[in-house]
Amino acid sequence: MLLHGKCLPQVFLEYKACFGDIFQFYASSTRMIVVSNIGDVQHVFTNRNIYDQGDIYVKHFGMVLREGAQYKRHASLIVPLFRRGKIVSNFDLIINCTDKLLAKWRASSPEKVHIDIVQQSQNLLLEIFGFIGFDYDLETLGDDEMTRNNELTEALRHFMHLFQIVSYCPRFLASIYLKFSPQYRRLNKIIERYLYRMIEQEQEKSPELIAERKRTSLIASLVSSLQKDKQMEATQNEDLKKG
């Protein structure tokens, strides 16, 4: 179906019409289970402790993203920050970013009929993630020239595209591709450089301001945790360290 000019959402809709709200298919060697009924999705997320993680998370995420004991802190900080309770406190930010996108659409020429809504929605999510996660303007909702001049934004976009490619490849092919891919190494270095710069800038702020911001900012939460646990973890065994 994908080879006949249809996008993935169209394929999913046709599969749903044929097979119902829950169906499975194979993308290369990766087995995909699609759950489209909102009630079923809520049930899975509410009871995710009883469901096994999919192979795409267990086998593929570790090839693209950092893993291991030294990165446990990252997960312990990132996951809680994007739970519902934390998102609610950022509603104004989300609405402002959405209004910015809508204003851009209204200002576009009426002769321009076709808009890549999928790409624009990805830009919106990146913009929101940049503010919530790092208090950083990725400039994805500005003009295209501004976005192209933002090195971090372009690196994140290429990184996500790379991840999509790897997700549908057999693990051994994905491992070989990433090992010898100069693009992957370059993107990693760019993203890492910007993240360390953000951490350094956050560390220069007062402890009171960091404590106030950590409720809604990932980078402030990370710095606060680093400052709190640095001395304590120095006395622990290597196996007990979060990194």
CB 107 within 8 A of CB 115: no
Do 20 and 84 fall into the same domain? Answer: no
Grouping H, G, I as helix, E, B as strand and the rest as coil, residue 146 is helix
Do 86 and 33 fall into the same domain? Answer: no
pLDDT of residue 59: 57
Q: What percent of the chain has pLDDT over 70?
A: 69
pLDDT of residue 29: 67
Do 35 and 62 fall into the same domain? Answer: no
pLDDT at 105 over 60: yes
How many domains does one find in the chain?
A: 2
Domain that holds residue 35: 1-51
What are the tens digits of pLDDT across the range 57-100?
Answer: 555 555 445 555 555 555 565 666 566 666 677 788 889 999 98
What are the tens digits of pLDDT across the range 147-206?
Answer: 667 888 888 888 888 877 777 677 777 778 878 888 888 988 998 898 888 888 888 878
- Please tell me the distance from the alpha carbon of residue 203 to that of residue 69, in angstroms, as a whole number: 23
What is the average pLDDT value for the chain, to the nearest integer? Answer: 75
Nearest-CA neighbor of 23 among 13, 12, 34?
34
Do 137 and 47 fall into the same domain? Answer: no
- Please tell me the distance from the alpha carbon of residue 120 to that of residue 125, in angstroms, as a whole number: 9
Residue where one domain finishes, among candidates 34, 51, 68:
51
Report the pLDDT averaged over residues 13-25.
Answer: 87
Tell whether the torsion through CA atoms of 168, 170, 173 and 177 is positive or negative.
positive
pLDDT at 225 over 60: yes
Do 175 and 216 fall into the same domain? Answer: yes
Residue where one domain finishes, among candidates 51, 66, 84:
51
Do 47 and 75 fall into the same domain? Answer: no
Do 45 and 58 fall into the same domain? Answer: no
Do 66 and 171 fall into the same domain? Answer: yes
Do 65 and 30 fall into the same domain? Answer: no
Do 143 and 213 fall into the same domain? Answer: yes
Phi and psi at residue 34, to the nearest 5° = -110, 125
- Lowest pLDDT segment from 4-8, 54-58, 192-196, 224-228: 54-58
Q: pTM surpassing 0.95?
A: no
pLDDT of residue 1: 45
Do 125 and 231 fall into the same domain? Answer: yes
Do 25 and 83 fall into the same domain? Answer: no
Residue where one domain finishes, among candidates 11, 36, 51:
51
